[in-house]
Structure 1
Amino acid sequence: MGGEIMKVKIDSYEDSSYKKIKTRGAFKALINPTGFSFTRKNDFNKEQASGASDGEQKFDKTSAPSLQLEFLFDGTGVVKDNPGNKLINKIKEGLGKKDPFSKTSVTQQLYDFYEATGQYDGTIHKPYNVIIIWGKFEFKGILNEFTIDYKLFNNDGTPLRAIGKANFGGSISKELAAKIAKTTSPDLTHKRTVQDGDTLPLMTERIYGDSKYYLEVAKINGLINFRQLKPGSELYFPPIEKTS
């Protein structure tokens, strides 16, 4: 498969409602993580009556989700802007342009990452809220923890390679949470853009929680052949009186 490789980028915001952006593209990964871990956790009250050996756990709350990412910070210069494209690299070298990231020290790269995600800003009295974007994946939260493992050093002890292990916790304002809950309500009209691989039953399942309403949606949108949806087209999903 061709196409441009999407790199992880981080936008910084001043507030948890994500209305006041500080820097768009505050950090962009030179090397993408090999993967990420996304955790959701339900908390239960595990206290048992005195003398009891077993019992039903009572649901307490759903904790904020968390995201774990490992970033590779490299200052050896082995990574190029255009890996594998010798022609572009040769043209750039002929123009006197070198990979700007290859001459950026690991220390500077780590500083840039922490400045975008975890550094305390005295004007807002806290670190920034961030939006982490990797292709279609998006996560809103704050940096909870950042651990650095140094792996390679120059003769003078200067770090040349490090792995940064970042843990982000989901963090959005109550107003934004309410808005998100409202926009996913089956009692409202939704407009959705068809993505490659989407089917009408699948999209109906996402909106209403049941795929059986797809014929009504097809009728409302004037679809003759609902089995072949065109990517990029827009469909309307109105409120539907649910039946058992």
Structure 2
Amino acid sequence: MSIEIRELIIKTEIFSGQINDAPEIWIKDLENLKMQFLEECKQILPLRRQAKFIKDRTVMGLMKVSGYTDENFKMPLKNANMQAVAPYSLMINPDSLKMQRSIEDNTQQVPNTSAPSQKYKATPSDKLSFDIVIDCTGVVDANRTDMEVEIKKLETIIYTYNGKIHRSNFVKSQWGQNLSFNCVLTSFDISYTLFKPNGSPLRAKISMAFCQYISPTTVEKMEKKQSPDVSHIVTVVKGVTLPHLCQEVWNQEAYYIQVAKYNNLNKFRKLHGGEKLIFPPIIQPV
């Protein structure tokens, strides 16, 4: 039984008159003690109800965070013995998750106009943030009562600098079957909210924020850029024409003259199959 629960039982017995030799200061400040008792109940009882809810829940399970050492999330984090570090399972699932998405535009105003003209600049990475509770009173999990160990396990995966990759680890947050978020940590705030009489923390609230991470090769595949301000290398298929390739690459065949000049072509209708052509940035990005 945790220290916290034993204290509550003692205080309850005092209120019901079962203990006559209670400390004088407790009797004197009984009204204040009652208020404190009620506040403690508000904190502990919801955690006990949530702990029971977690045990009964088998489909979704607990949220987990895993560490990886490569940007493609294929190589799990390993310890000094070259064994894979197990994912960190949260004690209690977050009450809510906040997903942030945004679009950035250039809003420079053209001279002699009444309003700025918004032009697309970039789509920042998605952001995920949530709060978790680590409770080491034994109420949630009797086998996890060491706050220092819990914090260390979590920090090792998401926060600690990894000298092999010269940065903190890549992180995957997983909850249920549909939520899987590849990311890196951007903030990690700890607030200790409950302590033992000796000052050791029993409960902590941790606020974490992550930024989605997508490797450059994956970004390139996802974007499928078809724009005249980006260079392309195209392998020619026999029988295809240069205007056709311009239409295919840029959705605009009118740039075939510039491509022909750049590649020193004296013809553009009968190209040699297998040769590689460079489609240069015809339009410079703003």
Q: TM-score by structure 1 length?
A: 0.60
Are 2:126 and 1:71 aligned?
A: no
Q: Kindly tell me: are residues 62 and 104 of structure 1, through their superposed partners in 2, closer, same or farther at Cα, counting changes over 3 Å?
A: same
Match in the other structure for 1:122: 163
**Offset from partner CA, 1:13-36 (integer Å, 9 cap, x none):** 101111212146421101111110
1:141 aligns with 2:192: no
Q: Secondary structure at the match of 1:41?
A: coil
> Residue 158 of structure 1 corresponds to which residue in structure 2?
200
Instruction: Please name the residue that 2:76 is paired with.
Output: 21
Who is 1:8 aligned against?
A: 63
Q: Deviations over 1:39-69 (max 9, x none)?
A: 1110111233468663232110100111001
Give the alignment of 1:128-207 within 5 angstroms. 128-135=169-176, 136-179=178-221
- Please provide the CA RMSD for this pair: 2.3
Contact 1:9–1:25, Cα closer than 8 Å, also in 2: no
Structure 1 range deviating more: 39-48 or 125-134 = 39-48
One-letter code of the match for 1:72? V
User: Where do 1:48-63 residues align within 5 Å?
Assistant: 48-49=109-110, 54-63=115-124
Cα pair distance change 1:181/1:35, threshold 3 Å = same
Once the 2 structures are TM-superposed, how far is the Cα of residue 8 of structure 1 from its aligned partner?
Answer: 0.5
Which of residues 19, 27, 44 in structure 1 aligns to 2:105? 44
* Residues 110, 117 of structure 2: 8 Å contact kept: no
Structure-2 change in CA distance of 1:179 and 1:13 (3 Å): farther
How far residue 139 of structure 1 moved from its aligned partner, in angstroms, is 0.2
Instruction: Pick the structure with more helix per residue.
Output: 2
Structure 1: where are the runs of 5+ without partners? 81-98, 183-244
Letter in 1 for 2:103: N
* Structure 2 Cα separation of the partners of residues 132 and 53 of structure 1: 46
Picking from 149, 169, 186, the partner of 1:108 is: 149
Residues 3 and 139 of structure 1, relative CA distance in 2, 3 Å threshold: same
- Separation in 2, partners of 1:18, 1:180: 17
- Structure-to-structure mapping, 1:203-214, within 5 angstroms: none
Q: 1:50 to 1:162 in 2, by over 3 A?
A: farther
Deviation of 1:121 (Å):
1.1
The runs of at least 4 consecutive aligned structure 1 residues that moved more than 3 Å come to: 49-53, 177-182
* Paired residue secondary structure (1:109): helix
Q: Return the letter of the residue paired with 2:122.
A: K
Q: Out of 40-49 and 57-66, give the one that drifted further.
A: 40-49
Q: Identity of aligned pairs, percent?
A: 27
